[in-house]
């Protein structure tokens, strides 16, 4: 494959996922990481991508649908009731991992009374409790990805690989019988580290995510303990999750 074709494919893939690791891009275009690194240098000189530690991100994506501010307006009423219902599952003083999903921000808003210790890579969640003396917040390391308002990269993965938590509260792009899926390669590696670090795993998914398959597999359903969703969830999808031994809560 010629350099121009590789670079075109890299740009097209980043339009889908916004950022990706070197290994992910190498596999995508069937080239060595050193070759991909040179391609990214060329793309960066053209102003279309920004190289980061261990990967690259798109500078001018075609759509802002993945930005935190945009995502937070989608199904906002459903996210609010899901957030409240999920917070009721948390016991006082537990150690809680919160991922960077917009739905999880709504969970965080109801946790103050539980006085938890929160570990997160979400900048909005960290900012929510920045001046709160009742909630201890540990923020992972990593590279700030401004549009998603999240910390990403190997340092973030390493941070969650070295901890233990009572519960991980997470979101994703979709769920099918094959498992939980998401659209961002670097977020997936961090979320997998979160799952490994937690004794109990809760996914908060509004009804539009049930039966939907996103870009990449995050984890099989056997890794999930609880799914919290809203009243718009299709009955057949709820039954599918329960048949897999998952506790389902409809808010």
Q: Which CATH number belongs to the domain containing residue 38 in this structure? A: 1.10.10.10
- The answer on 75 and 53 residing in a single domain is no
- Cβ-contact 148, 61 below 8 angstroms: no
In the predicted model, what is the mean pLDDT of the chain? 89
Whether residue 207 is contained in a domain is answered as yes
Average of per-residue pLDDT across 165-192:
92
- Confidence (pLDDT) at 75: 58
- Cβ-contact 125, 149 below 8 angstroms: no
Based on the structure, what is the number of domains in the chain?
A: 2
Does residue 67 register a pLDDT over 60?
no
Whether residue 79 is contained in a domain is answered as yes
Overall size of the chain counted in residues: 251
- The answer on 9 and 92 residing in a single domain is no
- Confidence (pLDDT) at 61: 56
Signed CA dihedral, 43, 44, 49, 50: sign only: positive
* Those residues with Cβ within 8 angstroms of residue 206's Cβ, 6 or more apart along the chain or in another chain: 75, 78, 79, 82, 103, 229, 230, 232
Whether residue 64 is contained in a domain is answered as no
- Confidence (pLDDT) at 98: 98
> pLDDT tens-digit profile of 182-213?
877 778 999 999 999 999 999 999 999 999 98
- Confidence (pLDDT) at 48: 83
Q: Strand (E) positions, the chain?
A: 19-21, 49-52, 55-58, 95-98, 117-120, 136-139, 143-145, 150-152, 165-170, 174-176, 179-182, 198-204, 216-219, 226-229, 247-250
- The answer on 172 and 117 residing in a single domain is yes
Q: Which residue has the tokens 């937070």?
A: 72
Q: Which CATH number belongs to the domain containing residue 238 in this structure? A: 3.40.50.1360
Rg (CA), the chain: 18
| Other Cβ atoms within 10 Å of 51 Cβ, number | 14
Domain that holds residue 217: 69-250
Cα–Cα distance for residue pair 175/230, rounded to 1 Å: 14
Q: 99-114: string of b/e by CB count within 10 Å (b at 16+)? A: bbbbbbbbbbebbeeb
- Cβ-contact 206, 103 below 8 angstroms: yes
Does residue 17 register a pLDDT over 80?
no
- Cβ-contact 9, 29 below 8 angstroms: yes
Does residue 235 register a pLDDT over 60?
yes
């Amino acid at each position: 494959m010629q350099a121009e074709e590789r670079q075109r494919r890299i740009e097209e893939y980043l339009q889908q996922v916004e950022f990706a690791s070197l290994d992910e891009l190498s596999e995508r275009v069937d080239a060595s990481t050193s070759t991909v690194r040179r391609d990214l240098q060329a793309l960066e000189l053209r102003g279309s991508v920004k190289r980061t530690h261990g990967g690259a991100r798109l500078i001018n994506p075609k759509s802002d649908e993945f930005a935190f501010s945009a995502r937070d307006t989608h199904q906002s009423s459903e996210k609010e009731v899901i957030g409240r219902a999920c917070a009721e599952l948390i016991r006082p003083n537990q150690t809680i991992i919160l991922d960077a999903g917009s739905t999880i921000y709504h969970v965080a808003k109801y946790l103050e009374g539980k006085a938890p210790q929160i570990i997160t890579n979400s900048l909005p969640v960290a900012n929510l409790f920045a001046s709160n003396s009742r909630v201890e917040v540990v923020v992972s390391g990593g590279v700030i990805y401004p549009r998603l308002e999240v910390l990403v990269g190997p340092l973030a993965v390493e941070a969650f690989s070295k901890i233990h938590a009572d519960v991980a509260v997470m979101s994703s792009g979709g769920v099918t019988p094959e498992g939980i899926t998401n659209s961002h390669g670097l977020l997936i590696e961090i979320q997998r580290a979160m799952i490994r670090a937690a004794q109990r795993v809760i996914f908060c998914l509004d009804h539009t995510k049930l039966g939907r398959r996103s870009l990449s597999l995050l984890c099989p359903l056997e890794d999930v303990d609880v799914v919290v969703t809203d009243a718009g969830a299709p009955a057949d999808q709820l039954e599918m999750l329960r048949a897999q031994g998952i506790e389902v809560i409809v808010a």
